[in-house]
Amino acid sequence: MANSAKLPKEWRILSRRLFVEPPESVAPQLLGKILAHQTESGWLAGRIVEVEAYLGPHMTHPPDPAAHSFRGITDRNRVMFGPAGHAYVYFIYGMHYCVNVTCEPEGRAGCILIRALEPLLGLSTMAAHRKLPAPVPHPRLTAGPGILCQALGLTRAAHNGLDLLDPASPLQLREDGFEAAPIEVTPRIGIRHAAHLPLRFALSNHSCVSHFKTKKTTV
């Protein structure tokens, strides 16, 4: 009973216009926005504090071989080629889900990986999803692309392809007027290809940003 049946009315749904653009320009604008998931135990929500942009195959200056869309459409990545503002959820390393927001006009791929949240709503349910005894330090709840999906209860089967900008959707992106600054820009984490591109965006010095290891690069 601790969680809300409704989201605060001052949290507004984002405009789809924002997402019908290249992901490298949308990504920094997602910082400070809110990802919210409606579950049987109420709404779970967190503020986005770290994201990465992944460019579609139409982008050649530079190309982005790290993106799942780089070699074209597959069963897994199909929603990335659909309309903007939808959820692309994929399963990785046999273990974790990661959630992205699709960008670009329909027919073009491009997305933004949500890498870390600051928990806002439903913290005890998040702790239960994480199988950790509450109270859990906030970074242990949602600082990382895999664990934030675990905390919010997101899966490919249930959430891949959902419209994030529909007020009737169980998974939504909203804003509350939070000013996201200052922002730091760095290379992306955990990739080998195009590892030098400055496509990771995070709120500077935020405690819920993920701890990261940079991999060996091949390109």
Choosing from 37, 47, 188, 206, the residue that interacts with DNA (CB under 7 A) is: 188
Candidates 60, 95, 133, 182: give the one binding DNA (CB under 7 A): 95
Query: What stretch of H or E contains 29?
Result: helix 23-30
Q: Which two tokens stand for residue 43?
A: 């709404």
Reading the block at residue 14, the tokens are: 């984002």
In the bound complex, what is the minimum distance in angstroms from residue 129's beta carbon to DNA?
11
Four-CA torsion 56, 99, 176, 5, nearest 10 degrees: 150
Q: Most distant CA pair in the chain: distance in Å?
A: 51
Cis preceding linkage at 187, omega within 30 = no
Enumerate residues 13-32 that contact DNA by CB under 7 A. none
Select from 91, 176, 178, 187 the one that contacts DNA (CB under 7 A).
91
CA–CA separation, 72 and 57 (whole Å): 7
Confirm or reject binding of residue 66 to DNA (CB under 7 A): yes
For DNA, which residue of 3, 38, 100, 125 counts as binding (CB under 7 A)?
A: 100
Contacts with DNA by CB under 7 A: the residue count is: 40
The closest alpha carbon to 125, from 153, 164, 95, belongs to 153
Report in angstroms how near the CB of residue 101 gets to DNA at its nearest.
10
Which residues contact DNA by CB under 7 A? 52, 54, 66-69, 71-72, 74-77, 88, 90-96, 98, 100, 111, 113, 130, 140, 144-148, 156, 188-193, 210, 218
